[in-house]
Amino acid sequence: MAFDEYLGERINQFMLSKSINFYTKKMMGGLVFMVNNKMCCGIHIDKKFGDSLLMAKIGETAYKQEIKKEECLPMDFTGRPMRGYIFVIPTGFDSDKELEYWIQKAIDFNYETYINNS
């Protein structure tokens, strides 16, 4: 099963509309959007869930609040969740407004981290 290419195009269009400097990389059976040479967001096929999930790197502070939402899952490949990363199930990014919320959270965290580490 390939990742959801339509979702990839939706993310791509949002990034372009915001003039975000990004590139994509195929990794872990999915597609990752790189901003400032760091993973920002992406699409992951989850075999347990049976669908493409949106992955967003939102940071540990935002994670504590967002993980409480029913459309969110911990990003877990190895039995140990990755800190600051979240998976969003398809019902959490059906509308453009919902998708933009998650992508913007990931972009904001990426730029905050980039500025603080420069």
The sign of the CA dihedral 33, 15, 113, 109 is negative
pLDDT digits (tens, 9 = 90+) for 16-27: 999 999 999 998
pLDDT digits (tens, 9 = 90+) for 40-69: 999 998 777 778 999 999 999 999 999 999
Put simply, whether the predicted model's pTM sits higher than 0.85 gets the answer yes
Position 3 confidence tier, pLDDT thresholds 50, 70, 90: confident
**According to the model, what pLDDT value does residue 94 have?**
95
User: Picking from 6-15, 25-34, 83-92, which range would have the lowest pLDDT averaged per residue?
Assistant: 25-34
Tell me the pairing of strands 85-88 and 22-27. unpaired
Q: Residues with Cβ < 8 Å from 102, sequence gap 6 or more?
A: 41, 54, 56, 58, 88, 92, 93
Domains of the chain plus CATH, in order, are: 5-95 (3.90.1150.30)
**Residue (of 41, 5, 3) closest to 22 by Cα position:** 41
